Amino acid sequence: MKKVLLTLTIGLALVLSACGGGSSKNESAGESSASAEDIVKKNCTGCHGVDLGGANGPSLQHVGSKHSEAEIENIINNGQGGMPKGLINEEDAKKVAAWLAKKK
């Protein structure tokens, strides 16, 4: 009986944890209400560093002097080098590209 109860408890915990976490994304439209800086903090700093100075990925501190906004957006959407494509949705990629293009 204890095994059954433990199994049910663990199963319930797994199901409920998958349902939580409310997102700021409008899933049906694929849009996010987050700012570009927040999107970068959440999705990019693991590879590009907290200060965007580089880590596993290259520095983005002056990326706007190297790439245009359109080029940055293309890299975000399609990947390049070790960066995989599709890490963020296209609408967020547009926001992030505009923000990063100003970093000169």
Per residue in 54-69, pLDDT tens? 999 999 999 999 999 9
Query: Is 1 assigned a ligand-binding role in the annotation?
Result: no
- The answer to the question of residue 41 being in a domain is yes
- The answer to the question of residue 66 being in a domain is yes
Query: Is 48 assigned a ligand-binding role in the annotation?
Result: yes
* Domain of residue 63, residue span: 33-104
Query: Is 67 assigned a ligand-binding role in the annotation?
Result: no
The pLDDT of 83-101, averaged and rounded, is: 96
Report how far apart, in Å, the C-alpha atoms of 56 and of each of 50, 51, 98 are.
Answer: 12, 13, 23
pLDDT of residue 22: 41
6 in helix, strand or coil? helix
Query: Is 19 assigned a ligand-binding role in the annotation?
Result: no
Q: What is d(CA 81, CA 75) in angstroms, rounded to the nearest whole number?
A: 9
Confidence at 31, pLDDT banded by 50, 70, 90: low
- The answer to the question of residue 43 being in a domain is yes
Q: Is 25 a residue whose pLDDT tops 50?
A: no
Q: What is d(CA 57, CA 49) in angstroms, rounded to the nearest whole number?
A: 8
Q: Rounded to two decimals, what is the model's pTM? A: 0.68
